[in-house]
Amino acid sequence: MTTSPKKAPQLLQVPSPRTRCDTELTEVGGTSSASLSTMISHQQQQQHPDPKTTTTTTTTTSTTPGGNWELDRKNSSSSSSSGSAVLDEDVEGVVVTSGGKDDGRSAFANHAEFLAGMISMAVGLGNVWRFPYLCQRNGGGAFLIPYVILLVVEGMPLSLIEIGLGQRFGRGSIGVWKGIHPGLGGLGVASTAVSFLVGLYYNVVITWCLYYLFRSFTTQLPWAECPVVNETRVEECAKSSETQYFWYREALNSSESIGDFEGINWHMFVCLLLAWLIVFLTMRKGIQSSGKVLYITAVFPYVVLAIFFIRAVTLRGAASGLLHLLTPKVRTSLN
């Protein structure tokens, strides 16, 4: 009497609990089984999980007398601590990601854009015109000693911490500090307020630069000579200098006192509006639009510094000026 060989059990692929499946499972060991997908879906409806969940992917393997079968379970949900600030952790070989909704925050397209962004934040208008002025005013070469010490001890570590926290949490200033501890949210608010005020301040400086840029498209620069009225130089310009007269009378159109309001300075108003328009066009799509501009903002300050340096060293008395700038004035620094 001949007996037919026993059928080997088939490999079962159970669909995700979140996916509706109407297909019945195939026979296992010759016996028809109930739909596991229907049972799992029914279990999911009976439960009331916490809205903040984490998603993991696990694989369970079981051995039966008739053979091996593998159950691939994906997108299963497990509760996470709502107050936890940990984003990605390796728990028993399974990577657990943080809960909450994905806000779709965009990221830099590549490492070059990220590096350009860091350079743009570190090097700006302050390095071009403010730092040499402060260095000369506060002791020249002696000013560089405490500056370098504070740069190494305080500036660089704080920058690295700020970059690390931003990459770790992937949030803004307020979200990062609240993620560390809810009581530190005020630091994020203060940081945002400071950034807002600095943006207002530097946009005014950019307004001045735009005005001088437009006025420089002439054969002779308007601040190179004093204006002449009735074949006579303006007395106020002759007593000060050409550049100071142009700055206060032409560019700013400043009045004698704060009570003497003469209306809106329209040429500066238009330049300020243009400066904010540039900011809007740069930031309207977030990193996707500003990332390309970062290549220019990272390189441009160095180009300007190189041009200023070449121009400065070719002027008359450049050696005396550099000597005065770099000569340590210890008494001035101590004051």
- Chain centroid offset of residue 226 CA: 45
Could you give the CA distance from residue 330 to residue 283 in angstroms, rounded to a whole number?
Answer: 45
- Chain centroid offset of residue 96 CA: 26
Q: Is 127 annotated as a binding residue?
A: yes
φ, ψ of residue 44 to 5 degrees: the values are: -65, -35
Cβ atoms of 54 and 97 within 8 Å: the answer is yes
Which is nearest to 180 in space by CA: 192, 191, 166, 194?
Answer: 166
Q: DSSP letter string over 70-136?
A: EEEEEEEEEE--TT----EEEETTEEEE--S--------SSHHHHHHHHHHHHSSHIIIIIHHHHHH
Cβ atoms of 116 and 298 within 8 Å: the answer is yes
Name the residue with tokens 């950034």: 195
How far CA 34 is from CA of 37, 228, 273, 275, in Å, comes to: 9, 101, 70, 69
Q: Is 123 annotated as a binding residue?
A: yes
> From the annotation, which residues make up the binding site?
122-123, 127
Residues that constitute the known binding site for Na(+): 122-123, 127
